[in-house]
Each structure stands twice: as structure tokens, then as C-alpha cells.
Amino acid sequence: MAVQDRYSALQNEDVRLFRIFQINGQLTNLYTVPTVEIVDQNGVDTIGTATATPAFYGTFYADWYVPIDLPPGRYYDRWTFRFPSDTTDSQVVNYFEVHPKDAIINFTQSVVSNQYSPGMEGLIRDLGGYFVYEIQHIPVYAEQAMRTADRSRFNFAYGNWNPDPRPTMRVNGRLVDDGWYADYCGNVFFEKPRDSQDVVYGSYYFSYFSKDDLAGFIKMGLNAMNAIPPASQTFTFVDNMPAAWKHGVLVYASMQALRRLLLGLTTQEISIIFGDKDAAAAARQTFQTLYEEYAAIWNNMSKDIKKVLPNISQISIPEYTLPGGKARWYRYMFVGTAGT
């Protein structure tokens, strides 16, 4: 039985759900193991639990067996945890997709999620925290939620919510601190159904690009680095690439992110994020200028980034003309770290 990721979960197989814990962009370890609840498609009912296991610093995963008769669709994993500096528990919710057991996805490898590793997570934080920070932290204030057929669930315009700072909700103008949770994908679930006359407003920060988007841009940056001559040695994972490539990969990934953003600004749904027609035009010009600056940096960098010379090593040529010459050669190797 294979273990699937949250984007390719299958009936009658285990799904592995990862969760990263960070404060202000920095990975943070937890003193206690978080609890994990599996929530039904309605976002309210709990249908199972899973045991969290530490993966690496600041990261846990939980394996959950997907019943063979569980209807395909979107489900949620709700993590309850406490940061070392907090005195109360916090909750965060993510989703995973369940596919039929005989889906073709069972025979294909996940495109992006299998790239998540300590190295990839670090590059994602650097890309979103330094190169394209502003478009990954877009504020939305007092947006009126859209009702759904379920009176416990309300929908907002944008997904990819940032967990920090925590979103705030107001019902009929009154701030509501508890009794609800967000799935950080644009949905808010109330523990008790709301009255048909209730009006819900929410304030939150969201990221223009999802985590998968950023991972894809970084993967393209690695491919671009591999293609620069000489291309005799290529790297499949960012964890294995030379440390000197890191800046080049991030610059190229930033270029691809800005190109995607510029194309998105040609649509009405995206342009209204940045204001009226004039404000959207000004934002497009700013992004265009930034893209050109990154492109210039990349063009200059790509010419010399693979010309870094290896470390200098001591080379000792063995001499056999004198007694003990061979033994001295071996001593030179160990003492002088020859060949490293």
C-alpha cells in the first residue's frame, strides 16, 4: 500500500499530511505533539483522528487511512497546537483531495509535493519573504462574506490566507474571537449555524501565490541553472545543488513569479486587488520595472555563476627512490587532506 500526499489521496490508502509551524517566517519547534482531526467535506463534522510525527525541525506529518467507501472530494485536516511562547492552544486547517481508488493519479508521481524538503522549504520562505514579499502579504479589510447553502460556512473572495496575523471576524459589527475557524483557503466555518439575518465581515492577509506556485517557480529556477553551460552535471533536488546556486535560483524564480503576476493583471478579477484602473496600471508598471531589474541581475549572474573554482587541495606525488618513500606519501595524504 502506497502513501499518498494531500493532493493525490486515494481511497483505501494512507495519506500523509505535512504541517509546518513558523512565527514571523521562522520555523518554530513545538514542545508538545499537536493533535490532528480529520474533518468532513462540510468543514464541521470530525470523521477521524491521526497521530502527528516529527519530520524535521518545525515540521510534523500525520498519516491517515482513507476508508475505501469515503466519497471523493475535499476534506480538511485540523491541527491543534501551542507555540512555546503561548499560553493557549491555536488551530490551523488545511485541505486534502480524495480521489477514487482506481484513479489514474495512482500511477503517476506528484509534480510538486514530492519536492518539499528542508531545502525547498527554506527557499520558499526566502522567495516569499524577501523577493516577492508584498504580493505574498496582501491585506483585505472588512470584506463581507458570501453565504453558502450551509449556514455554518461562509466564503470569501481570496484563498491562500496567511496564518499570521490571525484573521478576524465580525458578526453584525461585533468582534467574534471564538466559535469559528478558517480553512485558510477562503472559507470560514462557525460551530453553530448563523441566523439568516447575520452579516459576517472578515479581515485577513492572503498570498497571491500558493505554496505550490512558489515551489514550481523554484523548480524552474533549478532547471534554468542546470541548463547553463557547462551542463554536464545536473541536480534534481535543491538540497543537492551547490550553495552558490541559491541566489541564482531565487532570482530566476522571482522573474517567473512576476511574469505570472503581470499576465494576471490583464484580467479584471486580478487587477481589482490593487485598486481602481489607475492604481492597477501603476502597480503593473512597478512590477514590470522590478521584473526587468531581476532579469538584468539574472543575465549578469548566469554568465559567471558556474565559474567558481573548486577548493585548493594539496597534491603529493609519491617517490619511491628512497626507503620509506611510499609510507611518507600516505602520511602526506592523511595530514594534508590530499584529494579533498
Stronger pLDDT, 90 or 329, i.e. the higher one: 90
The fraction of the chain above a pLDDT of 90, given in percent, is: 42
User: Of 97-106, 176-185, 275-284, 323-332, which gets the smallest average pLDDT?
Assistant: 323-332
Stronger pLDDT, 44 or 278, i.e. the higher one: 278
Assess if residue 294 is contained within a domain. Answer: yes
Assess if residue 129 is contained within a domain. Answer: no
pLDDT of residue 205 exceeding 90, the answer is yes
Stronger pLDDT, 111 or 48, i.e. the higher one: 48
256 with 328, same domain: the answer is no
298 with 327, same domain: the answer is no
pLDDT tens by residue, 244-264: 899 999 999 999 999 999 999
Assess if residue 122 is contained within a domain. Answer: no
160-164, 177-181, 243-247: which is most confident: 243-247
25 with 59, same domain: the answer is yes
Domain containing residue 317? 311-340
Q: Model-level pTM greater than 0.85?
A: no
217 with 183, same domain: the answer is no
198 with 219, same domain: the answer is no
218 with 288, same domain: the answer is yes
Mean pLDDT of 172-187: 88
Which pLDDT belongs to residue 87?
A: 84
The residues with which 310 forms a beta bridge, in sequence order, are none
Residue 53 vs residues 33, 83, 88: alpha-carbon distances, Å: 7, 16, 21
Assess if residue 248 is contained within a domain. Answer: yes
Assess if residue 133 is contained within a domain. Answer: no
pLDDT of residue 315 exceeding 50, the answer is yes
7 with 105, same domain: the answer is yes
9 with 81, same domain: the answer is yes
Between CA 233 and CA 221 the distance in angstroms is 16
Between CA 263 and CA 24 the distance in angstroms is 30
The count of structural domains within the chain is: 4
329 with 241, same domain: the answer is no
28 with 88, same domain: the answer is yes
Stronger pLDDT, 8 or 331, i.e. the higher one: 8
97 with 54, same domain: the answer is yes
pLDDT of residue 179 exceeding 70, the answer is yes
Assess if residue 158 is contained within a domain. Answer: yes
191 with 261, same domain: the answer is no
Assess if residue 128 is contained within a domain. Answer: no
Assess if residue 31 is contained within a domain. Answer: yes
